[in-house]
Each structure stands twice: as structure tokens, then as C-alpha cells.
Chain A
Amino acid sequence: AQSVTQPDIHITVSEGASLELRCNYSYGATPYLFWYVQSPGQGLQLLLKYFSGDTLVQGIKGFEAEFKRSQSSFNLRKPSVHWSDAAEYFCAVGDFNKFYFGSGTKLNVKP
């Protein structure tokens, strides 16, 4: 069965530091992978997506993610975090019309 695991519930980083949010998935075929961000009280906004091709994908707000098939991972990275990046981040696997979401990682940013 399809599933997505985000092992870190909360992460705190200092402003300006680098960030990596982990995502592991279980899926029987080539996955369609997504990262979404949710600011407090808001809906989800798409950061980036991977369908095929180059395994390093660029997204909005300076985020990137790397697909590693051998590790079943799709980790999200940002070289320098800004205070406005404080939010909750969700990884998802798309299976035709259905998405499977991870439980989310809450990012706190220290000044």
C-alpha cells in the first residue's frame, strides 16, 4: 500500500541556516511526488513536484528536493532559511487521482 513517512514532527533551525526535511515513501511504481507548505490558518500551497526526469527539482521560495529511488526518499532542502519559512510542510505521493500525505513537519525558525 502507498504511504508517506515524515520522520521529523518538529524541526527548529536558526535563520540563515540550511534546512533539510525528510520524506520517505512506499509505492509500487514510479511515484509522482510533491511537497506542500501550510502557513498557520491557511490551506496548502504547492512548493514543487517530481514526475520524471532530473531527480533534483527546483520549486518556489528557493526550495529544492531530490528524488532518490534507491532510498525511496524525496527530501526537501533550502540553503538559507528565512523567518517567513516557519510553517508546516507536507510530503505527498500521487497515485492517479489520490494523494497520500505524510503527517507533516512543523518548522520553527529562530531569529
Chain B
Amino acid sequence: DVKVTQSSRYLVKRTGEKVFLECVQDMDHENMFWYRQDPGLGLRLIYFSYDVKMKEKGDIPEGYSVSREKKERFSLILESASTNQTSMYLCASSFDRGTYEQYFGPGTRLTVT
């Protein structure tokens, strides 16, 4: 079974803090994704990566950056957290290029106060 894990299920941070969200997958997938999920808006893609050290912006990259130093690990960074970044963050991974199903982690619910 594919397993995608995220470092925290719940996180509370203060405005202006630097926040790291970690995601690890164990299936040697090339592609990894970060989404945020907000009520009524579905999932919106923040960034994705199709290879180590490669990244591409998604639909809402502002205020976020990412890092992929190893194939199995994809980190989302909030350089200076703001209250409008309070959300559920979901990581996903998939096989090589092409439209393959994505496998999701359990999510991190981030609250910025």
C-alpha cells in the first residue's frame, strides 16, 4: 500500500512565524503535491514537484515556498505565517509523468493566530 505521511496532524502557529510542513511518501513516486483545502473551495494546488530539486507553481503559490531535496520528501514552507493561511494542508504523490491517481496524506490542520 502507498503511504503518504505528514509530520503533524494539528499545528498552531503565531502570525509572522516560519512554518514547515513535511510530507514523506514510501512508494518511490516521482510527483509530489501540496494542496490547501478550505470549505466550499475544494482543493487548490499550491506547488508540485516532478523530480528532486524541481518545483512548479500551482494555482495559489503566493506566501508559500517548497523544498524537495530527496525524492521521498516534499516540504511546504510558510515564510511568514498569516491568519489567512489558516487551513487544512494536504500532501499527495503520484507516479511518473502522465495522469495517474494521486495518493493523499491525512492532512495537517494549521491554525495561525
Contacts and interface: CB of A to CB of B under 8 A. Distances in A.
A90 B97 contact: no
A98 B45 contact: yes
A101 interface: yes
B107 A96 contact: no
Interface of chain A: mostly helix, strand, loop or mixed = strand
Interface string A86-97: 000010001111
A32 interface: yes
A103 B40 CA distance: 5
Interface stretch (B13-21, B68-76, B98-106): B98-106
A18 B92 CA distance: 31
A43 B98 contact: no
Contact of A98 (B9, B42, B58, B90): B58
Interface residues of A, number: 24
Contacts of B98: 96
Most buried by B among A36, A49, A95, A98: A98
17 contacts: A4-B42, A41-B106, A43-B4, A43-B90, A43-B104, A45-B104, A46-B101, A46-B102, A49-B101, A90-B43, A94-B99, A96-B97, A97-B97, A97-B99, A98-B48, A99-B45, A101-B42
Interface of A: 4, 9, 32, 34, 36, 41-46, 49, 51, 90, 94-99, 101-104
What 6 A-B pairs have minimum CB-CB distances, sorted nearest first? A43-B104, A94-B99, A32-B99, A103-B42, A44-B104, A101-B43
